[in-house]
């Protein structure tokens, strides 16, 4: 009877592990992101038109073989602009999240590992920072900090993301830092640096990566919002947000101008979110197995 119960319990506990495979859609998303990255990096070498070339003989044309996505109100090739536009979004996303992680992640790990006064002071500071409406501060600073450049956008969003990264990494590290194997390593006399690098980092990293991907998606959306307020890169440099914003004035005349960059952005975000979400659930399962 008792044995029967135990078997049932283990069967129950094993159930979530069924989802261990990442699935086909996950890999489609990875391939899509890789394609996007590749196109953004090698845009100069691809056989596509110059995104700045204006052709007044062919304005607001629909999709055709010659212009896959059609042309905009100045006769520029929408496909080329979507490809070049991805650069701004990807650079903003990667750059800002890099700043956030470069400062927030080490601080979060250190605070969770050391605890004590250092942790409580830093955490109070970060949480107060979080209570402040960061998005308003971002807009205010960007609108007064002229001339605008992508680098400034990256810096402002990056700094604003530090407390968020800090919170996620600190919570994740706290869960690990109290585990037996960390205590065992301490008892064995491992140095703090060794414990952080060998015991904590490998266990915090998966959560960090999942959050990183979702964070990039958030920054891409934010950059798009800024473009709508005219606070992102200056035209004629294409960015997805800029393009959708420009499309608003010719929405009925040329819906393609709104649809294609929107589609590109949504698919990019969808892939990032999906990969992030799948990784998170994947690693949470393995974490509970430890």
Partner 1 sequence: MIGIVFVISVGAFYLIHLLPGDPAVVILGTGDSPVNKARLYAELGLNRPIYEQYFIWMSHVLRGNLGVSFISETSVWTTIKGAIPIDLELMLISQILAFAAAIPLAMRSAKKPDGWIDRFLSAGSFTLLSVPSFIAIVLLVLFVSIDLAVPHTGVSSYVGFGTDWIGNLESLSLPSVVLAVGSFVVYYRILRSDLIATLQEEYITMARSKGLSQRRIMWRHALRPSSVALLGTAGVNIGGLLAGGFIVQYLLDIPGLGYTLITAIGLTDYLVVQGIVLVVAVGVILINFFFDFLINIADPRISRE
Q: Is 238 in the site for partner 1 (CB under 8 A)?
A: no
State the nearest-atom distance from the C-beta of 233 to partner 1, in Å: 16
State the nearest-atom distance from the C-beta of 258 to partner 1, in Å: 5
Looking at the DSSP bridge assignments, the partners of residue 71 are 77
Q: In sequence order, what are the residues at sequence separation of 6 or more whose Cβ sits closer than 8 angstroms to the Cβ of residue 244?
A: 224, 227, 228, 258, 261, 262, 265
Give the single-character DSSP code of 234.
Answer: P
Site string for partner 1, 145-184 (x = CB under 8 A): xx--------------------------------------
Q: Is 93 in the site for partner 1 (CB under 8 A)?
A: no
Query: What Cα–Cα distance (Å) separates residue 173 from each residue in 16, 95, 111, 177, 201?
Result: 23, 24, 9, 6, 8
- Residue indicated by tokens 């990264």: 165
Q: In sequence order, what are the residues at sequence separation of 6 or more whose Cβ sits closer than 8 angstroms to the Cβ of residue 156?
A: 138, 141, 142, 145
Phi, psi of 145 (to 5 degrees): -95, 85
Q: Among residues 118 and 228, whose Cβ is nearest to partner 1?
A: 228
Among 251, 253, 286, 289, binds partner 1 (CB under 8 A): 251
Q: Among residues 109 and 159, whose Cβ is nearest to partner 1?
A: 159
Query: What Cα–Cα distance (Å) separates residue 118 from each residue in 102, 109, 131, 168, 190?
Result: 19, 12, 20, 17, 22
Phi-psi region of 230 (alpha: psi -120 to 50; beta: other; left: phi over 0): left
What is the spatial distance between Cα 101 and Cα 214, in angstroms, rounded to a whole number?
13
Q: Among residues 197 and 270, whose Cβ is nearest to partner 1?
A: 270
Q: Is 141 in the site for partner 1 (CB under 8 A)?
A: yes
State the nearest-atom distance from the C-beta of 282 to partner 1, in Å: 15
Among 137, 155, 174, 185, binds partner 1 (CB under 8 A): 137
- Residue indicated by tokens 């049932």: 8
State the nearest-atom distance from the C-beta of 77 to partner 1, in Å: 21
Contact between 26 and 275 (Cβ < 8 Å): yes
Q: Among residues 205 and 259, whose Cβ is nearest to partner 1?
A: 259
Q: Which two tokens stand for residue 271?
A: 């892939």
Q: First-to-last CA distance in the chain? A: 28
Q: Among residues 42 and 127, whose Cβ is nearest to partner 1?
A: 127
Q: Among residues 80 and 272, whose Cβ is nearest to partner 1?
A: 272
Task: Choose the stretch contacting partner 1; rule: CB under 8 A; options: 2-10, 95-103, 194-202, 269-277.
Answer: 269-277
Q: Among residues 18 and 193, whose Cβ is nearest to partner 1?
A: 18
Q: Which two tokens stand for residue 62?
A: 């629909």
Which residues contribute to the site for partner 1 (CB under 8 A)? 128, 131-133, 135-137, 139-141, 143-146, 217, 221, 224-225, 228-229, 241, 244, 247-248, 251-252, 255, 258-259, 262, 265-267, 269-270, 273-274, 277
């Amino acid at each position: 009877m008792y044995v029967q119960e135990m078997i049932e319990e283990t069967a129950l506990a094993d159930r979530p592990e069924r989802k261990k495979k990442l699935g086909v859609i996950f890999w489609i998303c990875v391939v899509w992101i890789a394609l996007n990255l590749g196109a953004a990096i090698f845009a100069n070498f691809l056989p596509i038109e110059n995104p700045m070339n204006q052709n007044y003989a062919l304005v607001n044309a629909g999709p055709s073989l010659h212009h896959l996505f059609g042309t905009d109100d100045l006769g520029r090739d929408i496909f080329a602009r979507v490809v070049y536009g991805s650069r701004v979004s990807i650079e903003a996303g990667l750059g800002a999240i890099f700043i956030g992680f470069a400062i927030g992640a080490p601080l979060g790990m250190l605070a969770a590992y050391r605890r004590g006064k250092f942790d409580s002071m830093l955490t109070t500071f970060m949480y107060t920072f979080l209570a402040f409406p960061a998005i308003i501060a971002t807009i205010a600073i960007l609108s007064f900090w002229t001339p605008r450049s992508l680098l400034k956008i990256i810096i402002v969003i990056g700094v604003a993301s530090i407390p968020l990264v800090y919170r996620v990494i600190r919570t994740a590290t706290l869960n690990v830092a109290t585990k037996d194997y960390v205590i065992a390593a301490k008892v064995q006399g491992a140095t703090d640096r060794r414990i952080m690098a060998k015991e904590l980092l490998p266990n915090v990293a998966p959560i960090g990566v999942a959050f990183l991907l979702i964070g990039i998606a958030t920054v891409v959306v934010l950059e798009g919002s800024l473009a709508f307020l005219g606070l992102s890169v200056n035209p004629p440099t294409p960015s997805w947000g800029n393009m959708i914003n420009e499309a608003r004035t010719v929405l009925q005349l040329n819906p393609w101008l709104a649809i294609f960059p929107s589609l590109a952005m949504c698919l990019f975000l969808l892939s990032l979110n999906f990969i992030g979400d799948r990784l998170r659930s994947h690693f949470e399962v393995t974490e509970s197995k430890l």
